Amino acid sequence: MDAQSVKVTQELLRQITVLKKEREAVILAHNYQPPEIQDLADYTGDSLELSMIAAKTPAKVIVFCGVRFMGETAAILSPEKTVLLPVWEAGCTLAEYATAEQIREMKRKHPGAAVVTYVNSSAEVKAETDICCTSANAVEIVASIDRNRPVIFVPDYNLGHYAAKKTGRELILWNGCCPTHALLSTFAVAKARKKWPGAQVIMHPECKPETLELADFVGSTSGMLKHVKKQPAGTSFIVGTEVGLLHRLQKENPDKTFHVASDYLICPMMKMATIKDVKESLEKMQHVVTVEEDVRKRAKAAVDAMLRYTSAAVKVP
């Protein structure tokens, strides 16, 4: 960065600090956000951790640096707070794989089945759901459902396949995927292992089943952070998830080395927000995330059902 850009950035950060105070706001950033957004945030985390912080914070305004479903989840849990999304266009391709009408149709086809929905879904889809899950708790949530009850798992096929394998259950899987994680091929992992011999391969369960077979450890972003922390100094890792996580991994583990498993592990939606967007969202109070009240209440029941199982396990600062 040249001297002029450094000056502009410093001024933007100063304005954000002033606006945050004026608006009584808190800034949350997902682990996949660009490094400069993670660094300016009050909290970084996965969607479960951030939603819980959003629900508990005394702040009146939440700037959610992530994608739309994350902002919606915060609005579902905290209707009395104003949730802002710095870039309105930041959606989630995976969330678009399922609509509420498709879920209703699936329920008609499988009467009595429980619907488990990954939080990477719209509020309308959550509203048709019995219980939500994240990648951090999908296995636990599936395992919590009566074994005699069929389970429809929506919308991520790969995460559902992983939960099915770990619980030894047959699930009715949806055909959605995260295009970023689904792009990680066995070939890319083999190539990375050859380039960095001795490195541990850690991978996200949104990757394809055959790719996950090559992992030494599979977990959500929070799961990977916990796993890495426990490994000895000097360990190196090949990381099979969105590249944004490497910033936090490296920052919190300066004695370890991290390599992204493939140069394609970039979610364009997660990379949309800039420091200027954060400042403008606070200044203009723009891109307010709202959820229609009937949908919100039904979606909240599904999110609350998940939180009852996992809230004790999540450390909220």
Residues that bind ligand CIZ (CB under 6 A): 30-31, 46-48, 120, 134-135, 204, 220-221
Q: Write out the two tokens for 106.
A: 């699936």
* Nearest-approach distance from CB 282 to ligand CIZ, in angstroms: 23
* Nearest-approach distance from CB 306 to ligand CIZ, in angstroms: 11
* Nearest-approach distance from CB 233 to ligand CIZ, in angstroms: 25
Nearer to ligand CIZ, 162 or 188 (CB): 162
Nearest one of 307, 222, 308, 223 to 52, comparing CA atoms:
307
Q: Write out the two tokens for 172.
A: 């009715």
Nearer to ligand CIZ, 38 or 120 (CB): 120
Q: Using CA atoms, how far apart are residues 78 and 1, in angstroms rounded to an integer?
A: 38
* Nearest-approach distance from CB 204 to ligand CIZ, in angstroms: 6
* Nearest-approach distance from CB 135 to ligand CIZ, in angstroms: 4
Q: Using CA atoms, how far apart are residues 208 and 94, in angstroms rounded to an integer?
A: 14
Q: What's CA 235's distance to the chain center, in Å? A: 26
* Nearest-approach distance from CB 136 to ligand CIZ, in angstroms: 6
* Nearest-approach distance from CB 193 to ligand CIZ, in angstroms: 22
Nearer to ligand CIZ, 46 or 280 (CB): 46
Cα separations in angstroms, 87 against 15, 34, 132, 317: 18, 13, 25, 26
Nearer to ligand CIZ, 127 or 267 (CB): 267
Q: Using CA atoms, how far apart are residues 271 and 78, in angstroms rounded to an integer?
A: 25
Nearer to ligand CIZ, 86 or 240 (CB): 240
- Which residues, in sequence order, are bridge partners of residue 156? 176
Nearer to ligand CIZ, 19 or 267 (CB): 267
Where b means 16+ CB within 10 Å and e means fewer, 78-95 reads beebbbbbbbbebbbbbb
Nearer to ligand CIZ, 16 or 224 (CB): 224
Nearer to ligand CIZ, 12 or 182 (CB): 182
Q: Write out the two tokens for 68.
A: 């739309």
* Nearest-approach distance from CB 221 to ligand CIZ, in angstroms: 3
Q: Using CA atoms, how far apart are residues 218 and 212, in angstroms rounded to an integer?
A: 7
Nearer to ligand CIZ, 78 or 134 (CB): 134
* Nearest-approach distance from CB 107 to ligand CIZ, in angstroms: 24
